[in-house]
């Protein structure tokens, strides 16, 4: 068994044929992760007891002839911003270095109920803030495709474990592109569902009007299965949509003839070099599959970065106020009074990027600036969302690059936060509109670096998004 190439179907076939047991498979993956992880630093913690306990249950069900569930026996990595009961969850931050959650996130509960086996917690940018996974208290993650390069961020560890083969699928979180961009950099599939499709109960909040729990996988079918398991109403998250969950796999017909696709002209003007070439080739392939491609305009695209960073930082400054030295594990030794405790705990506990975003958020929400920045950004957000509504009156899906460039070298963009923010241009527009979007591999550069094609659909139109992605993947 080569654990690095397994998919959900292939490993479940192996289990049913008794080629290996769930416990044997889990042990192999844990051993492989133990050995390979030092190369990438993608896992910050492995949880063998929990994994083997879950695997034993799968073997019992197999022996009794019972159904093992959609994710039965599947080794899964979980981003360290998603709570796992009794298993340390740090958000890759010093301030939560010893935090052990008393409950599971709904997404975790559902993947385990469907037979999924959580192998460990994955590294990420601190509190999911970053585009390169270099802002982590555990140190950066390296891209398994090229160890001198970043895996993307903020869910860099979750992308790396799937690309490296130390998990079959994984959970990340996406606020402005934190799943699609690392999927693109690591050559795998990453899906940001419709806002509200998956419960955020137990996801440590960064920017609540933009946060998603989102899956990574090696192929489109597996990503659709993980989303299907997690999606659906949760009474514990009032923003989680009360909409039926389709059987996504039933929509993977490979037939996309007559599908109308839009190519946003504003996106292509930023794309350069080999990324632009590969996206152009992908468009030709989609046409060969029978799709009609036309240019569409999303005129507010240029305002998206400013809009996104105002809104996300504002929400972050409010959400992260809870880390104050009272409830969550860390308190500064310099806590002679209440105010010193708050200020020093936060000053010592947060990293540079988190501080920067808290400062920006506090500034744009402060007296005298609230209307000029925050309210203005919310109006511009409505404008960006309107662009998409209009586009989807004409086309079934939009296709675009995920990132202006492939994975960059470690340290290359670290000294200039603004340049790092600008690299999020193609992913944050879809996040602001709350529509489903995904990254699917569309080829490699001459240096062997993967490039992702982004597919964006209207709210709750994941079935068509997966259908198109699956047809493209099998071209």
Partner 1 sequence: MKLTEKDVRYVANLANLSLTEDEVGHMVHDLGGILELMDQLAGIDTEDLSPMAQVLYATGETATLRPDVERAPIGNDLAVANAPVSGAGYYKVPRVIER
Interaction residues for partner 1, span 344-373 (CB under 8 A): 344, 346-348, 350, 352, 355-356, 358-360, 362-364, 366, 372-373
Regarding 95 and contact with partner 1 (CB under 8 A), the answer is no
Regarding 303 and contact with partner 1 (CB under 8 A), the answer is yes
SS3 329: coil
- Quick note: the x/- pattern for partner 1 over 188-217, rule CB under 8 A, is ------xxx------------x--------
List Cβ neighbours of 389 (8 Å cut-off, separation of 6 or more): none
Q: At what angle do helices 220-230 and 106-113 cross, to 10 degrees?
A: 110
Please state, in angstroms and rounded to a whole number, the distance separating the CA atoms of residues 429 and 264: 12
Q: Which is nearer to partner 1, 5 or 239 (CB)?
A: 239
Q: Within its chain, how far is the Cα of 159 from the centroid?
A: 8
Identify residues 283-302 at the interface with partner 1 (CB under 8 A): none
Segment interacting with partner 1 (CB under 8 A) among 59-67, 97-105, 174-182, 442-450: 97-105
Q: Which one of 57, 79, 121, 413 is the catalytic residue?
A: 79
| Phi/psi of residue 454, nearest 5 degrees | -100, 135
| Phi/psi of residue 120, nearest 5 degrees | 180, 180
Regarding 241 and contact with partner 1 (CB under 8 A), the answer is yes
Selected binder of partner 1 within 245, 249, 376, 464 (CB under 8 A)? 376
How far does the chain reach from its first CA to its final CA, in angstroms? 27
The structure tokens listed for 391 are 């586009």
Q: Which one of 154, 170, 199, 312 is the catalytic residue?
A: 154
Q: Which is nearer to partner 1, 68 or 438 (CB)?
A: 438
Regarding 5 and contact with partner 1 (CB under 8 A), the answer is no
Selected binder of partner 1 within 343, 444, 445, 464 (CB under 8 A)? 343
The nearest distance, CB 118 to partner 1, in angstroms, is 20
Catalytic-residue membership of 79: yes
Regarding 180 and contact with partner 1 (CB under 8 A), the answer is no
The nearest distance, CB 202 to partner 1, in angstroms, is 13
The structure tokens listed for 292 are 């009609």
Regarding 246 and contact with partner 1 (CB under 8 A), the answer is no
Please state, in angstroms and rounded to a whole number, the distance separating the CA atoms of residues 311 and 430: 14
Q: Which is nearer to partner 1, 253 or 337 (CB)?
A: 337
Q: Which is nearer to partner 1, 10 or 329 (CB)?
A: 329
Instruction: For residue 157, give the nearest of 141, 168, 173 by alpha carbon.
Output: 141
Q: Which one of 21, 93, 170, 178 is the catalytic residue?
A: 178
Residues that bind partner 1 (rule: CB under 8 A) add up to a total of: 77
Please state, in angstroms and rounded to a whole number, the distance separating the CA atoms of residues 122 and 130: 15
Whether cis (ω within 30° of 0) applies to the bond prior to 154 is yes
Instruction: For residue 165, give the nearest of 230, 105, 216, 227 by alpha carbon.
Output: 216
Selected binder of partner 1 within 7, 335, 445, 464 (CB under 8 A)? 335
Please state, in angstroms and rounded to a whole number, the distance separating the CA atoms of residues 357 and 348: 16
Please state, in angstroms and rounded to a whole number, the distance separating the CA atoms of residues 403 and 417: 16
Residues recognised as catalytic: 79, 154, 178
């Amino acid at each position: 068994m080569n654990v690095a190439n397994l998919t959900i179907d292939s490993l479940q076939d192996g289990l049913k044929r008794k080629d290996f047991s769930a416990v044997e498979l889990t042990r192999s993956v844990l051993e492989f992760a133990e050995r390979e992880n030092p190369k990438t630093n993608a896992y910050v913690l492995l949880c063998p007891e929990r994994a083997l306990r879950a695997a034993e249950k799968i073997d019992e069900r197999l022996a009794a002839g019972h159904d093992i569930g959609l994710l039965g026996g599947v080794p899964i990595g979980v981003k360290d911003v998603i709570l796992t009961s009794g298993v340390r969850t740090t958000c890759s931050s010093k301030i939560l270095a010893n935090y052990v959650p008393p409950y599971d996130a709904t997404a975790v509960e559902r993947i385990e109920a469907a037979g999924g086996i959580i192998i460990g917690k994955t590294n990420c940018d601190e509190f999911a803030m970053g585009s390169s996974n270099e802002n982590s208290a555990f140190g950066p993650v390296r891209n398994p495709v090229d160890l001198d390069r970043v895996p993307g961020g903020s869910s860099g560890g979750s992308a790396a474990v799937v690309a490296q083969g130390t998990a079959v699928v994984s959970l990340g979180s996406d606020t402005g592109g934190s799943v699609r961009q690392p999927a693109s950099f690591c050559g795998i599939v990453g899906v940001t569902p419709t806002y509200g499709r998956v419960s955020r109960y137990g996801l440590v909040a960064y920017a609540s009007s933009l946060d998603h729990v989102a899956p990574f996988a090696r192929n489109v079918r597996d990503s659709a299965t993980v989303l299907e398991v997690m999606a659906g109403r949760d009474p514990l998250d009032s923003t989680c949509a009360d909409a039926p969950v389709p059987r996504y796999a039933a929509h993977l017909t490979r037939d996309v003839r007559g599908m109308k696709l839009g190519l946003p002209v504003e996106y292509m003007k930023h794309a350069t070099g080999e990324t632009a070439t590969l996206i152009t080739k992908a468009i030709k392939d989609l046409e060969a599959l029978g799709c009609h491609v036309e240019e569409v305009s999303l005129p507010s695209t240029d305002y998206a970065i400013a809009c996104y960073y105002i809104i996300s930082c504002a929400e972050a400054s409010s959400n992260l106020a809870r880390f104050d030295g009272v409830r969550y594990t860390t308190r500064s030794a310099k806590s002679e009074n209440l105010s010193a405790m708050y200020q020093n705990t936060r000053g010592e506990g947060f990293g540079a990027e988190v501080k920067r975003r808290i400062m920006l958020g506090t500034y744009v929400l402060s007296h005298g600036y609230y209307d000029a920045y925050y309210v203005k950004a919310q109006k511009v957000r409505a404008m960006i969302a309107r662009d998409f509504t209009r586009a989807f009156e004409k086309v079934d899906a939009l296709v675009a690059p995920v990132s202006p460039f492939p994975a960059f070298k470690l340290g290359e963009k670290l000294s200039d936060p603004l340049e790092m923010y600008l690299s999020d241009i193609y992913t944050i527009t879809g996040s602001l509109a709350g529509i489903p979007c995904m990254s699917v591999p569309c080829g490699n550069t001459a240096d062997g670096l993967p490039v992702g094609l982004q597919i964006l659909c209207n709210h709750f139109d994941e079935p068509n998004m997966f259908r198109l992605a699956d047809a493209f993947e099998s071209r």
